[in-house]
Amino acid sequence: MEIGFHTDAFNSVYWSFDQCLEWAHRHDLHYIECGTIDGVLWIHGLGYMPHVALWEDPRALRLKMDRLGIQFSQLDAAFPLSRPEGATLGVEYVLRSLRWAHIAGCPRIDTTDDRFQPQGMTDRETLDHMRRIYTQIVKVAELYGIVVNIEPHGYFTTKPEFMEEMLRFVDSSCLRMNMDTGNTFIAGQDPVAFLERFKAQVSHVHIKDVSPSLAASARGELTGIAVSQCAIGEGVNAGSIRQCVEILAAAGYDGVLSLECEGQGGPMIEQSLGWVRQLLKEVPISVVQVAHE
């Protein structure tokens, strides 16, 4: 397992993507995840947003990252596909992100649903709507060899029975799951049980903790959070994160643990990075050995 981070960590301090690359290089991290912007956005153009726009040259960025020894673990193209607009705006956004990812050397893109059930649509109608969307997306993903991950983040994806159906929308190795320890917890699920159920289908992992105050006020009310608002390891989800890492090790997971934590310009995510690095050292040797036997 390798450690990476999502550049959402530096949204609040208005860093550019280049600043995030520099931070990763200073802290000996070799994997980075960010969002994609489909068009021109003034705050990004002025250098105050840590994500990439699809008008930027993916080949040139890949060469810059290669020089720093950094690569994308995943691109976040998480337009809520359960909305009616998922079939129009969402599909085109995901497909453009997918093709850009291929040129940039990124092996995965992240997708999800909305926090709310669409008005005027039943669960079955919405699932059928998303089935058509993912069938279209995955057909293109197979051409480019890109994995399309579904992240638990919304009304449907944080419910195990719906996630199970969604992962069967298309019989393809290009349709997998992005596990998120924070979203599953805040949605009222047990992250450990959620991961245990889907561990064979996980290709990328978001590591998020949850502060005691947020858990007390919002657990079961929200379906996801953007980032951990406390240092990873200091929240009520720390024990579940530890167990999830052990499950991943035992299952032979050799992918990236992407930290999603408020950075505060460095201090909080640095503390989180230290905790996760120590955690990987503490994963029982017997567990790791089982994964590689």
Is the pLDDT at 288 greater than 90? The verdict is no
Q: Give the other-Cβ count within 10 Å of 66's Cβ.
A: 11
Interval 84-96: pLDDT, tens = 999 999 999 999 9
| Helices of type H across the chain | 17-26, 42-45, 58-68, 89-104, 123-144, 160-166, 181-186, 191-198, 212-218, 238-250, 267-282, 285-292
Is the pLDDT at 284 greater than 90? The verdict is no
pLDDT, position 291:
38
Give the Cα separation of 97 and 205 in Å (integer).
19
Provide the percentage of residues in the chain whose pLDDT is more than 70.
97
Structural domain count, the chain? 1
Residue 91 is part of which domain span? Answer: 2-292
Mean pLDDT of 2-21: 98
Interval 66-121: pLDDT, tens = 999 999 999 999 999 999 999 999 999 999 999 999 999 999 999 999 999 999 99
pLDDT, position 253:
96
Under a CB-based contact definition with an 8 Å cutoff, are residues 134 and 175 in contact? yes
Mean pLDDT of 214-218: 97
CATH number at residue 87: 3.20.20.150
Q: 31-45: b or e for each residue (b if 16 or more CB lie within 10 Å)?
A: bbbbbbbbeeeeebe
Question: Residue holding tokens 């040139």?
Answer: 60
Q: Tell me the average pLDDT of the chain.
A: 96
